[in-house]
């Protein structure tokens, strides 16, 4: 806490910000900021304090508007100044020093139905936050376009409105995005029908999107390629040891990227040799912890993971020390690992290791039921996708092709 006490004291003298600089500096230390960065942030806030004095403004007067005025007053503005000021304002708001601005309440019929839909998705369907946001975004765009020139009335929606929207916008989307849009529409119209907002279930009116990905063999790496990727990991630095543990979770247990991000310290049961997976739809599953995965996790947790408030297992290496914000960090780790091993599959996301585990299990004699259990598939049809990888088995089912023509 050397920075939080010594450096803050330099700026406390005569500052209207008072001891709040010290508490802010302490939080910066906990978040893993370097001494130099903390000094720069405190220096900026000391200038803010001096700027407040002539106007006789108190710390409780701070808000976004006042911070913008302060930046306009400064002759030299650095790239991180606005971030630091907002960070300090957030620090004060969390401690009740500065009131949190009340959000503007949207009481429109559109906002009301979207809020009800959000509650339904979260409490009854058990969807995670980012899926709910994606569904709401699709539905909001449809409703805004449908009622752009007239009053909002859900009972006026017709099947032609839905198909027309999909046909206009679907061709300009990636297949996955278009599929998500139609899935969101079916979910929303079933919700409206159940609530009595619609007299007919319009979910059946949503067109299907052709997904030709399911007509091809799942993108995967051979067992030898996966081992080559793992052996190419450096493991001499804190970052590389963290990444190696993540790659092993993906390759040995077939975890999804989001499940790696969501992993908590209490999810690892060292005595039982188990790990709790926080899967899709708020479903939790326990899986055995392989020895090499346990060793990699133990090495990272003992040597490299900093002490901080978050319970997430995997943290950012740079300040602020927090868990990954989303799955993009995991995807980046996989791409870099593939590049180090000079592997160039068509698909370089984290899911390629999940597919690779399934195909390796199939070629070693595992049944589709066993593969589905490891990958935690709720629908057996999802696992049947991997049957296309078993070329030898499929050949035994194929009829011989006639070699000669008719005489």
In DSSP terms, which residues pair with 312 in a beta bridge? 264
Q: Measure the CA–CA gap between 148 and 135, rounded to whole angstroms.
A: 20
Q: Quick one: which H or E segment has residue 231? A: helix 223-231
In DSSP terms, which residues pair with 264 in a beta bridge? 312
What ranges in 31-80 are assigned the alpha helix state H? Answer: 35-52, 64-73
CA angle 281, 282, 287 (to 5 degrees): 105
In DSSP terms, which residues pair with 315 in a beta bridge? 323
Question: From the CA atom positions of the chain, what is the Rg in Å?
Answer: 27
Q: Is the bond leading into 320 cis (omega within 30 degrees of zero)?
A: yes
Strands (E) in 184-273, as ranges, are 268-269
Whose CA is closest to 249, among 297, 313, 301, 282?
A: 297
CA dist 44 → 63, 98, 230, 248, 319 (Å): 16, 19, 45, 43, 18
Q: Report, as residue numbers or ranges, the catalytic residues.
A: 256, 280, 351, 354, 377, 386
């Amino acid at each position: 806490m050397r920075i939080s006490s010594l450096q803050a004291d330099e700026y406390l003298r005569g500052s209207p910000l008072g001891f709040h600089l010290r508490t802010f500096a302490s939080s910066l230390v906990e978040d893993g900021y370097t001494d130099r960065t903390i000094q720069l942030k405190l220096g900026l806030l000391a200038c803010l304090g001096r700027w407040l004095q002539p106007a006789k403004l108190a710390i409780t007067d701070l808000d976004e508007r006042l911070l913008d005025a302060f930046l306009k007053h400064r002759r030299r503005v650095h790239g991180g100044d606005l971030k630091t000021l907002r960070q300090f304002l957030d620090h004060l708001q969390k401690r009740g020093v500065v009131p949190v601005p009340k959000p503007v309440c949207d009481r429109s019929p559109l906002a009301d139905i979207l809020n009800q839909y959000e509650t339904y998705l979260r409490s009854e369907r058990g969807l995670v936050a980012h899926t709910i946001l994606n569904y709401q975004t699709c539905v909001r765009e449809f409703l805004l376009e449908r009622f752009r020139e007239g009053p909002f009335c859900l009972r006026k929606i017709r099947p032609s409105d839905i198909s027309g929207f999909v046909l206009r916008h679907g061709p300009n989307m990636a297949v996955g995005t278009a599929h998500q849009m139609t899935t969101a529409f079916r979910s929303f119209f079933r919700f409206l029908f159940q609530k009595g907002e619609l007299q007919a279930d319009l979910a059946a009116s949503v067109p299907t999107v052709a997904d030709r990905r399911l007509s091809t063999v799942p993108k995967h790496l051979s067992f030898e390629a996966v081992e080559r990727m793992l052996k190419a990991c450096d493991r001499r630095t804190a970052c590389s040891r963290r990444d190696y543990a993540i790659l092993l979770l993906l390759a040995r247990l077939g975890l999804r990227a989001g499940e790696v991000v969501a992993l908590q310290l209490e999810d690892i049961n060292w005595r039982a040799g188990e790990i709790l997976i926080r899967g899709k739809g708020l479903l939790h599953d326990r899986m055995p912890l392989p020895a090499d995965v346990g060793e990699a996790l133990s090495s990272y947790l003992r040597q490299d993971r900093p002490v901080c408030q978050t319970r997430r297992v995997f943290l950012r290496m740079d300040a602020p020390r927090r868990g990954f914000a989303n799955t993009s960090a995991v995807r980046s780790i996989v791409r870099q690992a593939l590049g180090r091993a000079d592997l160039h599959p068509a698909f370089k996301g984290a899911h390629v290791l999940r597919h690779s585990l399934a195909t390796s299990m199939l070629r070693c004699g595992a049944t589709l039921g066993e593969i589905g259990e490891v990958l935690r598939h709720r629908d057996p049809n999802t696992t049947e996708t991997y049957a296309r990888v078993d070329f030898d088995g499929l050949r035994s089912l194929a009829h011989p092709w006639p070699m000669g023509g008719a005489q």
